[in-house]
A = this chain, B = another copy of it.
Amino acid sequence: MNSIMPLLSQSARLPLRFSCRIRHFHIQQKKLAVELTRIRYPNLKRGPYANVCDADISNFEKLLPGHGRVITDVNELDGFNTDWLKTCRGSSQVVLRPKTTEEVSALLCYCNDRRLAVVPQGGNTGLVGGSVPVFDEVIISTQLMNNIISLDEVSGILVCQAGCILANLDSYLKDHKFTMPLDLGAKGSCHIGGNLATNAGGVRLLRYGSLHGTILGLEVVQASGVVVDCLSSLRKDNTGYDLKQLFIGSEGTLGIITKAAILCPQKPNAVNVAFLGCDSFNRVLDVFQKSKHMLGEILSAFEFMDAASMDVIQKNLKMHNPIADFPFYILIETSGSNGNHDEEKLNKFLETMLSTQLVNDGTVATDMSKIEAVWSVRERMAEGLMHDGYCYKYDVSLPLLKFYSLVEDMRRHLGSRVTRVVGYGHVGDGNLHLNITTPAYSHEIMDLIEPYIYDWVARHHGSISAEHGLGFKKKQFIYHSKTKSAVKLMQAIKKLMDPNGILNPYKTIPDAS
């Protein structure tokens, strides 16, 4: 029977959204260390960089006086060397924790002179191996750069250091009736600097647009140590080239972001979430089209997940499905300035969806704890998948009509060799998260997936990385999404801005040759 009803009690018992993420992170830290990247990828060659020596360590200690700012303890280093997914592990011998832009500048100046390779690290929540060393790069962490500098309460412009945690910024803003223009599952530990360096997308992009539009200014330290101050906190500034754009999404290969000015939208007065069940992916697309027309300016998220994804949530995380079983699920969020108007729009929309049988069942959440509970079904997916063992993670953009065919093709292609193939993601942005799990990493499975998936995406004019970036794991596939002339220009810009190639080597773009 079709029914749209208040959220059932079982979903109210689901844990809240970002606290889980942090807890999980610590659980993972206790597991055994993963294979070193240089061993897993034996064809990799270390670049022509100097090795860190004792004199370097003493110099770092002079540049960063005080306790816990230069970390060399092997046990402490392990968390910084290993990525969140447990798929990459470097062997850096030192982590540096500056507090100020001037300290970042002094460190880079020193490393550049010494030809020491560097990997900038924020919350280390990246999914493509971009935030950990490949060999023994020096890690510069933004952990201690976590000051909020200012908030203009008229314009909503927030200025902060790069190491602020996304969730902390959002909760600070809430007290001042604003909200962050981006939100993602890792919000409890990711740093805003890392979000910017990787041009993070997330669930609010549909509503507030990309960081290229919402970031008003950046302060960045170049490889040479020179500080580029583009920290304008003005909504409009057309004086010369918009340099900050170059750093957004360059994954720490062109400079280290130290401060940002962010245009923050008003905190919505009313938020509603609907969780719906659908019979086919075509119906998911129809519901998306209708939601754009009927919910218009209040639509703030449109996410989908397939039945295999729900299985992960139920079996691996012991969470409940808030509705009956369906082949596809949709999560719709609205947010607006007038609760009554929003509710009226949403009710009318849901009635239409049910009466036209585009949607078969659903539940609506209006109070914050229930909204967070429904969201956690979607946001804890990455975590749930890791319980299977190893997760081969793909994050592609595709034209909507081809969106789910890739999951079906991949399932056929891999058959029973893998634990599961699941598809979920941001329908509103054409962004599919395709995940494949096996009990442990396997070269043979990897060879079956890549370049098969990249060829598939390129054939359908998609992007091989919608929001995760290329990092270490996908850099060699850039030509599947970018032309030779474009990559050549990227290489020339890299050479210009980091002539010694010390910044995050082995990542993002192939070396010029």
Interface residues of A (CB under 8 A from B): 152, 154-155, 198-199, 201, 205, 209-210, 212-214, 222, 226-230, 232-243, 245-246, 248-250, 254, 266, 268-269, 285, 288-289, 292-298, 336-338, 341, 344-345, 397, 399-401, 426, 429-431, 461-470, 474, 478, 481-483, 485-487, 489-490, 492-493, 496-497, 508-509
Structural contact, B228 and A463, CB atoms closer than 8 A: no
Closest to A477 in B: B239
Q: How far is the CA of A448 from the CA of B338 in the complex (A)?
A: 50
Q: Contact between A230 and B266 (Cβ–Cβ < 8 Å)? A: no
* 8 nearest A-B residue pairs (beta carbon): A213-B213, A296-B337, A245-B245, A237-B463, A236-B466, A239-B481, A234-B397, A209-B213
Of B242, B397, B469, B486, the contact of A245 (CB 8 Å cutoff): B242
Give the chain B neighbours of A467 by CB distance below 8 A. Answer: 236, 238
Do B235 and A430 touch across chains, with their CB atoms under 8 A apart?
A: yes
Q: List 17 A-B contacts (CB under 8 A).
A: A209-B209, A212-B213, A212-B242, A213-B213, A228-B485, A234-B462, A237-B466, A238-B249, A240-B487, A240-B490, A241-B250, A241-B254, A245-B246, A294-B337, A295-B337, A296-B336, A297-B297
> Would you call B236 and A205 a contact (CB within 8 A)?
yes
Contact B341 A239 (CB under 8 A): no
Inter-subunit contact B465/A239 (CB<8 Å): yes
Query: Does A489 lie within 8 Å of B243, measured CB to CB?
Result: yes
**17 new A-B contacts at CB < 8 Å, known A154-B288, A241-B490, A337-B345:** A154-B401, A210-B236, A212-B245, A222-B489, A233-B461, A234-B462, A236-B429, A237-B465, A238-B467, A239-B463, A239-B465, A239-B474, A240-B508, A243-B490, A295-B337, A341-B345, A493-B496
Central interface residue in A205, A226, A338, A483, by most chain B CB within 10 Å: A338
A338 to B243 Cα, complex, angstroms: 40
Q: With a CB–CB cut-off of 8 A, which chain B residues contact A430?
A: 155, 234-236
* Given A209-B209, A338-B296, A431-B236: A229 in contact with B397 (beta carbons within 8 A): no
A374 to B467 Cα, complex, angstroms: 42
- Cβ A240 vs Cβ B292 within 8 A: no
Tell me whether A493 and B490 are in contact (CB under 8 A): no
Assembly CA distance A288 to B375 (angstroms): 34
Most chain B CB inside 10 Å of its own CB: which residue of A198, A399, A482: A482
Give Cα distance in the complex from A248 to B285, angstroms. 32
Contact A297 B336, CB 8 Å, known A209-B209, A210-B213, A467-B236: yes
Q: Nearest CB to that of A426 among chain B residues?
A: B236
Smallest CB–CB gap between A87 and chain B, Å? 18
Shortest Cβ distance from A338 into B: residue: B345
